[in-house]
Amino acid sequence: MIIQVKINGIDKEWDVDPGMILLDLLRDKGYKSIKRGCDEGYCGACTILLDGQAAKSCVMLAGQAHKRSITTVEGLGTMDEPHLLQKTFVEHGAVQCGYCIPGMLLSSKALLDENPNPTEDDVKEAIDGNLCRCTGYVKQIEAVLDTASIMRGEN
C-alpha cells in the first residue's frame, strides 16, 4: 500500500505493508529521534505528533498515518535553530540521558499549541505519559512553564 504522509512539513509517499508498526516504519525511514522504550504503549519514548496530537507510534500501524501529518523532533528545530522548548530544556538541565526527551518535547509542544498559558498541573498532565527514569521531572516541568511564559512574551 502507498502511504501518503506529511512529515515535518514534507510530503512523502511510502510503499509499505500497512500492518507494519508505525514506530518501526519511521525509524526505518531515518527518523531516529523517535525512541523505543517498551513497544507496548506505556513509556512514551516513541511519541510523535499526529495532526498535532501526541500519539504513541509503537501501538499504531503504518496505515493509520495515511493522509495525516506527523511531527517528530527532527521537525521541531535544528541544532542551529532549535525550537524554544529544546533550548529551555537544555538550559534548565532537563536533559539527562535524553532518551525520553524527544517524546516529552512533543507532548509539551502539543500542550503549548493548545494552551499557551498552562498551569503546573496542566504540564504534569500533558507529560504524564512520558516516563523518565533519570530525572525527577522537576526541571522538565520548569522548562515547559518557562517556555510558555517566554512565548507569551513575559520573559
Positions that interact with ligand FES (CB under 6 A): 36-39, 41-46, 56, 58, 96-101, 132-135
Integer Cα distance of 104 and 5 in angstroms: 22
* CA atoms within 13 A of residue 137's CA, in its CB half-sphere: 15
Do 1 and 18 contact (CB within 8 A), yes or no? yes
Rg (CA), the chain: 15
**Which residue in 61, 82, 149, 151 binds another protein (CB under 8 A)?**
82
Q: From the CB of 52, what's the least distance to ligand FES, in Å?
A: 19
Q: Which is nearer to another protein, 1 or 138 (CB)?
A: 138
* CA atoms within 13 A of residue 96's CA, in its CB half-sphere: 11
Residue range at the interface with another protein (CB under 8 A); choices 10-18, 48-56, 62-70, 124-132: 124-132
Helix or strand (DSSP H, E) at 15: strand 10-15
Do 64 and 70 contact (CB within 8 A), yes or no? no
**Which residue in 64, 77, 150, 151 binds another protein (CB under 8 A)?**
77
Do 43 and 53 contact (CB within 8 A), yes or no? no
Considering CB distances under 5 to 8 angstroms, the limit depending on partner class, which of ligand FES, another protein, none binds residue 139?
A: another protein
Q: Which is nearer to another protein, 4 or 141 (CB)?
A: 141
Q: From the CB of 125, what's the least distance to another protein, in Å?
A: 7
93 binds another protein (CB under 8 A): yes
56 binds another protein (CB under 8 A): no
